[in-house]
């Protein structure tokens, strides 16, 4: 793996860890607990990054537009507009991050 690929992977891990703390280790959609980092879990419960405003709709790839969600919740959301729960979680996470 090249040094730039390693740097990007490290930055992604740090971003996910920061978001998990800001969300108090809760899914950005359903509010249930996320699996601990490195824990074995089903594919449906695997934590994934979600763009609240989808990239296809012009959403940024910035912390202020990202939430950590269960894979199943992220898949169910697809590229639709965020609902009230997701917007509340995003606002709370952004406030904790100082954004």
Distance of CA 13 to the CA centre of its chain: 11
pLDDT for the residue 34: 95
Tokens, residue 32: 């249930």
CA pair distance 30, 72, nearest whole angstrom = 10
Arithmetic mean of pLDDT, 27-40: 91
Helix, strand and coil content of the chain, in percent to the nearest 5, comes to 50, 10, 35
pLDDT for the residue 5: 92
| pLDDT tens digits, one per residue of 40-98 | 989 999 999 999 988 888 989 899 999 999 999 999 988 888 888 889 999 999 999 99
Which spans in 1-99 are helix H?
Answer: 3-22, 71-77, 84-97
């Amino acid at each position: 793996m090249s040094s730039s690929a390693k740097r990007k992977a490290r930055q992604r891990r740090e971003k996910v860890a920061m978001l998990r703390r800001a969300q108090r280790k809760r899914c950005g959609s359903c509010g249930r607990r996320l699996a601990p980092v490195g824990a074995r879990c089903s594919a449906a419960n695997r934590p994934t990054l979600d763009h609240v405003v989808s990239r296809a709709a012009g959403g940024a790839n910035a912390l202020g537009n990202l939430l950590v969600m269960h894979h199943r919740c992220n898949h169910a959301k697809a590229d639709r507009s965020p609902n009230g729960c997701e917007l509340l979680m995003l606002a709370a996470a952004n406030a904790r991050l100082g954004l």
